[in-house]
């Protein structure tokens, strides 16, 4: 029962979020390249450094943080609404009567699925963002293929990938647990459910940004 729910959640969070993660990541990479090219124009910094900057920006910050902020909106609000709706339709009461530990059954598979799937989505986001940077620059002649690839190979530090995974897993735990909490303890009707869903997103976003800063302080 719990395994089936875990698989369903992994599918929903992972595959369900893939298209939107793909889309935003392309533009994140594209905008980063374009703006850095603009900022560095006329300075004595080789253009190959843009590839290096995009790579590390995507890995350390943009892929984990932006993806999770987006997922707080998509996945978090969905979880709060789903659990809150179950509370209002007495599904949670029915489960309690049928001997289900509802907090474990409804919350744990979601948190676990997010912790497993969101880091994978973040990896995809990082790769797609870097590819997006390439697509936005090389074909239109901002700089050459060799410049970009050279930059990508510069000063690679595997510790940055570790930071990315720590951030992704932490943000996943935050956005799911906050959202599930808001849904689980919802009271009242549809207006309160809407408010709970909004709170889930707002609190998740704030906590993700605070955690982002704390992780940056500790790990860099």
Question: Which residue's CB is nearer to other proteins, number 10 or number 124?
Answer: 10
Scanning 16-24, 37-45, 92-100, 202-210 for contacts with other proteins by CB under 8 A, the matching segment is 92-100
- Contact assessment for residue 93 and residue 184, using Cβ atoms and an 8 Å cutoff: no
**How far lies 199's CA from each of 57, 76, 185, in Å?**
29, 10, 12
100 makes contact with other proteins (CB under 8 A) = yes
Scanning 17-25, 52-60, 87-95, 112-120 for contacts with other proteins by CB under 8 A, the matching segment is 87-95
Q: How many residues bind other proteins (CB under 8 A)?
A: 11
Binder of other proteins out of 15, 23, 94, 104 (CB under 8 A)? 94
Binder of other proteins out of 44, 98, 140, 218 (CB under 8 A)? 98
Scanning 84-92, 144-152, 153-161, 204-212 for contacts with other proteins by CB under 8 A, the matching segment is 84-92
Binder of other proteins out of 7, 41, 96, 144 (CB under 8 A)? 96
State the DSSP string of 130-168. Answer: HHHHHHHHTTTTSS-HHHHHHHHHTT--HHHHHHHHHHH
Instruction: Give the shortest CB-97-to-other proteins separation in angstroms.
Output: 5
Quickly tell me which residue has 């986001």 as its tokens.
Answer: 125
Binder of other proteins out of 19, 99, 141, 189 (CB under 8 A)? 99
Neighbours of 220 (CB within 10 A): 9
Q: Which helix (H) or strand (E) holds 76?
A: none
Report the site for other proteins in 101-120 (rule: CB under 8 A).
none
217 makes contact with other proteins (CB under 8 A) = no
User: What's the token pair of residue 18?
Assistant: 């893939």
- Contact assessment for residue 174 and residue 74, using Cβ atoms and an 8 Å cutoff: no
Instruction: Give the shortest CB-57-to-other proteins separation in angstroms.
Output: 40
Residues 6+ apart with CB under 8 A from 158: none
d(CA 193, CA 206): 20
Residues that bind other proteins (CB under 8 A): 1, 89-91, 93-94, 96-100
């Amino acid at each position: 029962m719990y395994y089936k729910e875990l698989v369903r959640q992994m599918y929903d969070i992972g595959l369900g979020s893939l298209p939107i993660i793909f889309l935003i990541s392309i533009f994140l990479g594209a905008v980063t390249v374009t703006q850095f090219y603009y900022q560095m124009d006329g300075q004595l910094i080789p253009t190959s450094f843009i590839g290096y900057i995009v790579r590390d920006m995507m890995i350390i910050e943009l892929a984990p943080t932006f993806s999770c902020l987006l997922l707080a909106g998509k996945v978090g609000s969905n979880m709060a609404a789903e659990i809150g709706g179950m509370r209002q339709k007495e599904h949670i009461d029915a489960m309690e009567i049928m001997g289900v530990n509802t907090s474990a059954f409804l919350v744990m598979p979601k948190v676990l699925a997010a912790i497993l799937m969101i880091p994978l989505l973040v990896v995809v986001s990082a790769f797609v963002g870097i590819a997006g940077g390439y697509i936005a620059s090389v074909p239109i002649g901002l700089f050459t293929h060799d410049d970009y690839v050279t930059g990508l190979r510069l000063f690679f530090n595997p510790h940055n990938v570790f930071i990315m995974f720590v951030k992704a897993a932490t943000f996943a735990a935050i956005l799911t647990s906050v959202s599930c909490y808001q849904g689980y303890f919802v009271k009242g009707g549809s207006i309160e459910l809407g408010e709970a869903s909004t709170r889930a997103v707002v609190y998740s976003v704030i906590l993700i940004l605070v955690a982002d800063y704390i992780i940056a302080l500790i790990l860099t």
